[in-house]
Chain A
Amino acid sequence: MNNVIEVKKLSKSFKVKVKEKGFIGSLKSIVKPKYKTIKAVNNISFNVEKGEIIAFIGPNGAGKSTTIKMLTGILYNDAGSISVMGIDPTKKRKKLAYEIGTVFGQKEQLWTHLTPYDNFKFFGAIYDIPEYVVEKKIKEFIEIFELSEFINTPVRNLSLGQRIRCEIVASLIHEPKILFLDEPTIGLDPVVKENIRTLIKRMNKEYKTTIFLTSHDVGDIEKLCKRVIIINKGEVVLDDSMENLKYHYLNKKIIEVKMKEKVNLDDSKGITILKDKGYNLKLEVDTKKTSISEALKKLDSDKIIDINISNVPLESIITNIYKGEK
């Protein structure tokens, strides 16, 4: 398989102005500003294969945006090497631009007074695509991504969901090989989120576009990505397939029970009490150490009113990884 992105030992640090509080503090920072250095990205390496949908996630300030900006040529790295489609973004930014597409959050790239149709044509002009090719392309998009309803409505009259859809589609006009999506579903309602996810999937399927996605939304990751890279404090803490990630953490189960009578239960081997409200219990069972049935034996089955056994949600798995727990 061929890699479309290769990142080796990438690093970048920033200097940040430190501001002290209060009136004296602000006066001081005028006279003599203080700086501290933070390592935004620290020695990270990873590859992305052609046609992959990869999730690049991490808490705020983990270095996600900085990494994307380096991959797209906006920022230069301090150390290490990047190759995107075989191009070094720091050296051939313009050449790279034809190969990649970017949607940064919901920063508007579209002109709001124009219709999506005119917008797409404008984007076509940016990438020097002949008019008839653009027109053909737009027709194709209308069909694949179901835009016919609002293709001739000025963007400012579109709903947020429709606008984001157009934002994303606009970045496809030059058929980029890789699409960078930074928080594409932030602030959208569940239905629209689902819509956008379908769009991303279809894009990946129809055009074999490699998708590099950052998101805080576990749903995005769970439903779209086959592979996850988790980054925290500028370092890669996990680079694994979705399956492995789940498998690795699925040995933990959550048991929630509602009892008729109060039970007294203490932590024991493989069983952790998460919540104990007397009648209501929440346990975490590590199936590597003990079995579910073993755990259930500790409860008087006649007195159970309700029981629910579930996997640990991906969200808390990821939160735990952020915290450094394995």
Chain B
Amino acid sequence: MLMEVKKELKFILLSIKYNLAREMTNKVTFLTNIIFMILNNAAFLIEWIIFFSIKDNIGGYGLKDVVLLWGLASGTYAICFLFFGAVQELPNLIMNGKIDSFLVQPKNVLISILTSKTKVSAIGDLIYSYILLFIYGFSIKNFLFFTLFIVTGGIIVTSIATIFGSLAFYITKADTLTGNVMGTMLNFDTYPEGIFKGAIRILFYTIIPISFAVYMPLNILKEFEIIKFIAVIIFTLFITLIAFLSFYKGLKKYSSGNLMSARV
């Protein structure tokens, strides 16, 4: 079992190494991609400077908190797209029968698919997220927690996208749906939790679990609470399990099912 995990990890790292090597074949494109992604992200700081010029406390957050929020959010997405860059394409791969080549490999199918692509812009996101951490306030403790939480956050986002993406085994519009869900998470988790009131908060703990991905980590970084910490870790493990289960359930249907899309 441990051997298996080790082999799987070695394989993931090799995939990513080769992925990056591919993206780096054109250095200019590679660098502009990264730099523009950082600029792109930084544009939103303008938005917040304007908002805070209207009022200096928004949903319980000051400008500094929003900086940390953005750091966590972009770090989370960076991890997702750096390691599991193909997750966005999962529904399309399923619908177009392109997962076949992964099925004849003796590796975990889901992991092989997800790691088969890396988004270069994710490197920009990652750099940006650490710049924001520096602006917020750097300490070894902050650095370690921050790194841990962008990893758990990245896994949570990937898992949710996988769960929705796996719907492609059953319905045709799963690609749009997955895109929407990922977009929704990104939309919400870049705004202060405090402005949202009422029933919508339930969503943050369920279908779009940004509380576990971003809000709780932010609170923990501000002030450590063991309960929240455990909650984040347990939820990450839980959602990962659900992601695997839903993918494999769908895969079974794909193989034994009789719906022919573009498979001929």
Contact = CB atoms under 8 A, between A and B. Distances in A.
A15 B264 contact: no
Interface residues on chain A, size class: 35 or more
Interface string A36-52: 01001000000000000
B7 A74 contact: no
A184 interface: no
B104 A72 contact: yes
Residue of A16, A97, A126 ringed by the most chain B CB atoms within 10 A = A126
A61 B103 contact: no
Secondary structure at the A interface, as helix, strand, loop or mixed, is mixed
Interface residues of B, number: 22
A111 B15 CA distance: 10
Contact of A90 (B14, B101, B106, B255): B255
A256 to B, nearest CB: 39
B18 A111 contact: yes
A128 B100 contact: no
A13 B258 CA distance: 6
B144 interface: no
Given A14-B260, A76-B256, A122 B18 contact: yes
B104 A100 contact: yes
B259 A15 contact: yes
Residue of A72, A107, A113 ringed by the most chain B CB atoms within 10 A = A113
B132 to A, nearest CB: 32
Contacts of A125: 10-11, 14
A214 interface: no
A65 B263 CA distance: 9
B260 A98 contact: no
23 contacts: A13-B258, A14-B258, A14-B260, A15-B258, A15-B260, A37-B258, A40-B260, A73-B255, A74-B104, A75-B256, A90-B256, A97-B106, A98-B106, A104-B100, A109-B101, A111-B18, A113-B21, A113-B22, A114-B18, A122-B18, A126-B105, A126-B106, A127-B106
